[in-house]
Amino acid sequence: LDLPLEVVEGGEHHRLTRLRADALCLHHETTDRHPRAVRLRRLRFGRAVTLSLQEVSDRLEIQDLIARYSYALDSRDYDALDDLFTPDAVLDYTATGAIKGSLAEMKEFVANAFTMFDGTQHLTTQTMLTFADDGSTAYGKSTCHNPMVFGGDLKPKMMIV
């Protein structure tokens, strides 16, 4: 079965094909096409979607940041958050009953709030990203399912946010 994904870069055509359900093979072909793009050739509705390599890269990097954020919280490695936010970041968690503040304020708040939990697991999914026309700004929304297991006298209760 052909996986409907091809990458065209610098006149060289790369086509991914599925050999088995768990294996992908990259084929190299020379072509006269030169735009840098990732093309989904067959979609259910018959439309083609073209993303630039930069947008594909940006999307993957943003999703990586979201995953690293989740791992930092769940492993209680709050200093790892320093690598994920700019120094002037303002974090707003008021929708969850938490605070709005600087990264330092949020790290302190979360460190204190998470003492009541033996474990948390931030599961993020359905990340939707749109980019400004000039590609300089991304807007996003991601769903987070967060089961938190209480510790101490509250065992074995669980809260899901």
Q: Look at residue 69 and tell me whether its pLDDT is greater than 90.
A: yes
Give SS3 for 83.
helix
Residue 88 in this model has a pLDDT that exceeds 70: yes
Regarding beta strands 90-92 and 100-102, do their DSSP bridges make them parallel or antiparallel, or are they unpaired? antiparallel
Residue 150: predicted pLDDT: 87
Tell me the average pLDDT across 96-105. Answer: 94
Tens digit of pLDDT for each residue in 118-150?
A: 999 999 999 999 999 888 899 999 998 888 888
pLDDT of residue 13 exceeding 70, the answer is no
Q: What percent of the chain has pLDDT over 90?
A: 46
* 65, containing H or E segment: helix 53-74
Q: Which residue has the higher pLDDT, 133 or 46?
A: 133
**Which run of H or E residues covers position 56?**
helix 53-74
* Sheet strands (E) in the chain: 2-9, 12-20, 23-30, 37-40, 49-51, 90-92, 100-102, 117-120, 123-131, 138-145, 147-150, 158-160
Q: What is the pTM of this model?
A: 0.66
Average pLDDT over residues 29-41: 43
Confidence check: pLDDT of 158 > 80 = no
pLDDT, averaged across the chain? 76
> Cα–Cα–Cα angle for 128, 134, 140, nearest 5°?
15
Nearest CA to 152 out of 118, 105, 127, 113 is that of 118
For residues 143 and 126, the answer to whether their CB atoms sit within 8 Å is yes
On the question of pLDDT at 86 being above 70, the answer is: yes
* Token output for 141: 């929304």
> Do 124 and 144 touch, CB atoms closer than 8 A?
yes
Q: How far apart are CA 70 and CA 67, in angstroms?
A: 5
